[in-house]
Amino acid sequence: MIRKNIEQALRQGSIKQKILLYMNDLAIFNTTYDPEKHLLTDKERTVIYRGLKTPQDIKYYNELRTWVKTYNFYNHETRVLIERVKAHKQALLQEVLTIEQNRSYRDIINELLDLYPEKDSREKALALALDKSELFKLYQEKGFSPYVVEDEDHDKSKRAEKRIRTTIDKLEEEAKGLRVILALLNQITEERLPLKPYKKDREEREEQAREELQQVKLMVDYINEELDCSLKITPYDEIELPEAYSVNSVNKESALPYE
């Protein structure tokens, strides 16, 4: 908003316009936490606040104030949930790296097997490699020597799959919560608090959630291919919203004192 327009709104605008200006100023602080980015000076804010005279003005101001509190209340929850989604994404990334690591060991072991000059010692080494690693099984093509490959049916591989499944389940649960809250924030910014800074803030957070889940999907696809399993992660936009969610469930004390 240009300074000239602000001054004009302060001089000639209706009280409703002035309240919106005040709330926009507050929204910029609540979404950037940067005191340098204020639209209004302290004096201008005080003038608007003191200009609230009629019951209608006060009612309108208080209504917006309640929705600001509500927005902040839920917005904090989204920040927490995004951090938790990131944590599970990190765990999945480590699983991907571990798959790579196992493959690397498989290749080395197979290369080392080819160095044995005699069949007997190669077989002995192969048996030991299978026994020690507990990750591989024997693989042999007709006319070729046997080698080791990943054993998807081994207990350890099954454990890895179970661990990955648990991580994905936890991640889905957090993502579902995130989707619901962002939908609530969307409802608030569309219907109750039509201020650009909040809308932009909510859109950015939603984009972040979408991207995090997109990255998770790439990892899950990789894991499915490598471990021959069928794990699934629901993309952000396909997470179903429960029927009974509404901002109207917000209690009037359930908000943050930011204004």
**Where on the chain is the footprint of other proteins (CB under 8 A)?**
73, 76-77, 79-81, 83-84, 86-88, 90-91, 93-95, 97-98, 101-102, 104-105, 107-109, 111-113, 115-118, 121, 124-125, 128-129, 132-135, 163, 177, 180, 242, 244-245, 249, 251, 253-259
Task: Kindly tell me the sign of the dihedral angle through the C-alpha atoms of 201, 236, 256, 187.
Answer: positive
Name residues whose C-beta falls within 8 Å of residue 158's C-beta, 6 or more positions apart in sequence.
none
Residue 94 Cβ, how far from other proteins at the closest point, in Å? 3
CB-neighbour burial class of residue 202 (10 A; exposed 0-12, middle 13-18, buried 19+): buried
Measure CA 95 to chain center: 19
CB environment 99-123: b (16+ within 10 A), e (fewer): beebeeebeebbeebeeeeeeeebe
Whichever of 6 and 88 has its CB closer to other proteins, that residue is 88
How many whole angstroms separate alpha carbon 138 and alpha carbon 134?
Answer: 11
Residue 197 Cβ, how far from other proteins at the closest point, in Å? 19
Q: Cβ–Cβ contacts within 10 Å for residue 225, how many?
A: 10
Q: What are the start-end ranges of the H helices in the chain?
A: 3-12, 15-32, 42-50, 55-113, 119-133, 155-187, 196-227
Residue 210 Cβ, how far from other proteins at the closest point, in Å? 19
Residue 66 Cβ, how far from other proteins at the closest point, in Å? 14
Whichever of 17 and 66 has its CB closer to other proteins, that residue is 66
Whichever of 6 and 202 has its CB closer to other proteins, that residue is 202
Whichever of 6 and 64 has its CB closer to other proteins, that residue is 64
Whichever of 195 and 255 has its CB closer to other proteins, that residue is 255
Q: Cβ–Cβ contacts within 10 Å for residue 211, how many?
A: 11
Whichever of 36 and 253 has its CB closer to other proteins, that residue is 253
Residue 166 Cβ, how far from other proteins at the closest point, in Å? 12
Residue 13 Cβ, how far from other proteins at the closest point, in Å? 26
